[in-house]
Amino acid sequence: MEIKDQLYEGKAKVIFSTDDPELSVMYFKDDATAFDGKKKGTIQNKGVMNNIVSSRIFEMLAEKGVKSHYVEKLSEREMVVKKLEIIPVEVIIRNLTAGSLSKRLGIEEGLELKETIIEFCYKSDPLGDPFINEYVARAMGYATKEEMEFMTEVAFKVNDILKEFFDERGIILVDYKLEFGRHNGEVLLGDEITPDGCRLWDKKTREKLDKDRFRRDLGGVEEAYKEVMDKVLK
């Protein structure tokens, strides 16, 4: 397989086409952004660590029957993925209160929820990924009813698997964001599953082991990403 042109450059990754029309290569950068790109920085070696973490998680999910765009880890910072037509709906799952939910409702972080929450956002940097619901997604043609139902089902299944996976490693999966895309008529899990898009807390100390360390200037960002990587590889 030969890597061809750059198709897209995002905040944390670059996507390249290949000589195989079915496949792309995803390159993981060390760049970190927060607050819709208003805060910019670098997390040393993040690209390498996120490629390792995401590859391991996609492999583990595949073993449990969750299909993603992941094909193989190509190099330190590159992953071969199936080419996707991205569905512009971000799917967020929350197991505990945190982040924008806490802000919106004026409640502290880390509270137990009576039920798992699913939320949808419209994937748009200029608009700051606004909150939408299923009706908006369908009415605007972002996704069909069947796609919304499928993404909901997969997001909850991924939650069951990931909650247990992290729990066994002494980590609480607080919340996370998933993205999906279409490939040959099939909806696949896309993007990455890493501390960039998940809130992960140490089970004993409740110390944050994710991008909130960068967002909130808590220090020890690289160390937290490394701790997650080491535990994911266990």
Which residues of the shown chain bind ligand 5GP in the complex (CB under 6 A)? 90, 92, 98-101, 129, 175-177, 196-199, 211
Please, what is the minimum distance in Å from the beta carbon of residue 129 to ligand 5GP? 5
Please, what is the minimum distance in Å from the beta carbon of residue 212 to ligand 5GP? 8
Smaller CB separation from ligand 5GP, 78 or 175: 175
**Residue number with the smallest Cβ distance to ligand 5GP:** 99
Smaller CB separation from ligand 5GP, 96 or 148: 96
Contact, 125 vs 36, CB < 8 A? Answer: yes
Segment (H or E) for 114: strand 112-122
C-alpha distances in angstroms, 128 versus 18, 98, 131?
31, 18, 9
Smaller CB separation from ligand 5GP, 23 or 79: 79
Distance from C-alpha of 81 to C-alpha of 191, rounded to nearest angstrom: 9
Segment (H or E) for 186: strand 186-189
Smaller CB separation from ligand 5GP, 190 or 197: 197
Please, what is the minimum distance in Å from the beta carbon of residue 20 to ligand 5GP? 28
Please, what is the minimum distance in Å from the beta carbon of residue 72 to ligand 5GP? 23
Contact, 112 vs 96, CB < 8 A? Answer: yes
Distance from C-alpha of 4 to C-alpha of 193, rounded to nearest angstrom: 25
